[in-house]
A and B are shown apart, each in its own frame.
Chain A
Amino acid sequence: MRTIQFREAIAEAMSEEMRRDSSVYLMGEEVAEYNGAYKASKGMLDEFGPKRVLDTPITELGFSGIGIGSAMNGNRPIIEFMTFNFSLVGIDQIINNAAKMRQMSGGQFNIPIVFRGPTASAGQLGATHSQAFESWYANCPGLKVIVPSNPYDAKGLLKSAIRDDDPIIFMESEQMYSDKAEVPEGEYLLPIGIAEIKREGNDVTVVSFGKIIKEAIKAADTLEKEGISCEIIDLRTIRPLDKDPIIKSVKKTNRLVILEEAWPFGNISTEIAYQLQSKAFDHLDAPIEKINTADTPAPYSPALLSEWLPREEDVIKSIKKVLYR
Chain B
Amino acid sequence: MSTATEITHYVVPFKLHRLEQGPNLQVKCTRDEAMKYYKQMRTIRVMETTASNLYKSKIIRGFCHLYSGQEAVAVGMEAAITLDDSVITAYRAHGWTYTRGVSVKGVLAELTGRHTGCALGKGGSMHMYGKNFYGGNGIVGAQIPLGAGIAFAHKYRDEDSVCVALYGDGAANQGQLFEAFNMAKLWDLPAIFVCENNGFGMGTSAERAAASTTYFSRGDYVPGIWVDGMDVLAVKEATRFAKSYALKNGPIILETATYRYHGHSMSDPGTSYRSRDEVQEVRQTRDPIGKFAELATSSGLLTKEEIKKMDDEIKKEVATAAEQAKTDPELPPEELYTFIYKNPPANTRVRGCDDTIWAATK
Which of B135, B153, B338 gathers the greatest number of chain A CB atoms within 10 Å? Answer: B153
Cβ of A28 < 8 Å from any Cβ of B? no
Q: A63-B183, A64-B145 are in contact. Are A69 and B345 (CB under 8 A)?
A: no
Q: Does A49 contact B (CB under 8 A)?
A: no
Chain A residues within an 8 Å CB radius of B175: 61
- Are B146 and A61 closer than 8 Å at their CB atoms? no
List chain A residues, Cβ under 8 A from B122: 103-106
Q: Assess whether B266 is interfacial by the CB under 8 Å rule.
A: no
A70 x B156 contact (CB < 8 A): yes
User: B355 touches which one: A108, A109, A278 (CB < 8 A)?
Assistant: A278
B193 CB contacts on chain A under 8 angstroms: none
A100 to chain B, nearest CB (A): 8
Within 8 A of B (CB), among A126-160: 141-142, 144
**A89 shortest CB reach to chain B, Å:** 10
Contact of B156 (CB < 8 Å), options: A25, A62, A92, A107: A25
Q: A97 contacts B137, CB within 8 Å?
A: yes
A71: chain B residues at CB < 8 Å are: 149
Q: Which of A35-43, A189-197, A227-235, A258-266 contacts B (4 or more CB under 8 A)?
A: A189-197
Given contacts A57-B186, A66-B180, A104-B122, contact A191 B146 (CB under 8 A): no
Residues of the B chain whose Cβ atoms lie less than 8 Å from the Cβ of A201 = none
Residues on B with C-beta less than 8 A from A108 are 119, 129-130
Is B221 an interface residue when CB atoms closer than 8 A count as contact? Answer: no
Say which residue of B123, B149, B157 sits within 8 Å of A105 (CB atoms): B123
Interface size class of B (residues with CB under 8 A): 35 or more
Does any Cβ of A come within 8 Å of B120's Cβ? yes
Interface membership of B299, Cβ < 8 A: no
Please name all residues of chain A whose beta carbon is closer than 8 Å to the beta carbon of B163 when the two chains form the complex: 69, 73
User: CA–CA, A166 to B342, complex, Å?
Assistant: 6
Q: In the bound complex, how far is the Cα of B106 from the Cα of A7, in angstroms?
A: 49
* B14-35 contact mask (Cβ, 8 Å, vs A): 1 or 0: 0000000000000000000000
- In the complex, residue of chain A having the shortest beta-carbon distance to the beta carbon of B126: A104
Query: Is A73 in contact with B150, judged by CB distance below 8 angstroms?
Result: yes
Give bound CA distance, A59 to B178, whole Å: 10
> Judging by beta carbons under 8 Å apart, are A106 and B145 in contact?
no
Cβ of A311 to closest chain B Cβ, rounded Å: 33
Q: Determine how close the nearest CB of chain A comes to the CB of B20; give it in whole angstroms.
A: 28
**Total A residues in contact with B, Cβ cutoff 8 Å:** 50
A280 CB–B CB distance under 8 Å: no
**A130 → B minimal CB distance (Å):** 26
A57-B127 contact given A62-B145, A66-B148, CB 8 Å threshold = no
Interface string of B179-223 (1 = CB under 8 A from A): 110110011000000000000000000000000000000000000
Flag whether B273 is at the interface (Cβ < 8 A): no
* Contact call B150/A96, Cβ cutoff below 8 A: no
Contact A165 B138 (CB under 8 A): no
Q: Which residues of A contact B138 (CB under 8 A)?
A: 96
Chain B residue nearest in CB terms to A60:
B179
A33: Cβ under 8 A from any B Cβ: no
In chain B, what residue has the closest Cβ to A106?
B120
Cα–Cα, bound, A74→B345 (Å)? 22
A65 at the interface (CB under 8 A from B): yes
A10 to B154, CA, bound (A): 28
B345 near A142 with CB under 8 A, answer: no
A69 contacts B147, CB within 8 Å?
A: yes
Contact B350 A109 (CB under 8 A): no
Select which of B88, B123, B154 is within 8 A of A104 by beta carbon: B123
B272 interface residue (CB < 8 Å to A): no
Whether B179 pairs with A62 at a CB distance below 8 angstroms is yes
| Residue of B134, B149, B341 with most chain A CB atoms under a 10 A cut-off | B149
Q: Is A223 an interface residue (CB 8 A)?
A: no
- Most chain B CB neighbours (cut-off 10 Å) among A61, A108, A165: A108
**A212 CB to nearest chain B CB (Å):** 24
Residue picked from A51, A104, A237, A278, most chain B C-beta under 10 Å: A104
Max chain A CB contacts within 10 Å: which of B86, B142, B146, B344? B146
Picked from A69, A104, A144, A192, the residue with its CB within 8 Å of the CB of B150 is A69
Partner pick for A72 among B134, B179, B340, CB 8 A cutoff: B134
B353 at the binding interface (Cβ < 8 Å): no
Q: How many Å from the CB of B159 to the closest CB on chain A?
A: 10
Map CB proximity to A onto B105-135 as digits: 1 under 8 Å, 0 otherwise.
0000000000001111111000101100011
User: Which A residues are CB-close (under 8 A) to B341?
Assistant: 102, 142, 144, 166
User: What CA separation (Å) do A189 and B18 show in the bound complex?
Assistant: 51
Cross-chain contact of A193 among B120, B153, B348 (Cβ < 8 A): B348
Which listed residue, A56, A73, A191, touches B345 by the CB 8 Å rule? A191
Beyond A66-B148, A105-B135, A164-B343, 9 additional pairs, beta carbon < 8 A: A72-B153, A74-B157, A104-B129, A106-B121, A141-B350, A166-B342, A193-B345, A240-B344, A240-B345
Query: Measuring CB to CB, which residues of chain B are less than 8 angstroms from any residue of chain A?
Result: 86, 88, 117-123, 127, 129-130, 134-135, 137-139, 142, 144-154, 156-157, 163, 175-176, 179-180, 182-183, 186-187, 338-348, 350, 355
8 sampled A-B residue pairs with Cβ under 8 A = A61-B179, A63-B179, A65-B148, A69-B146, A69-B147, A74-B153, A93-B142, A102-B342
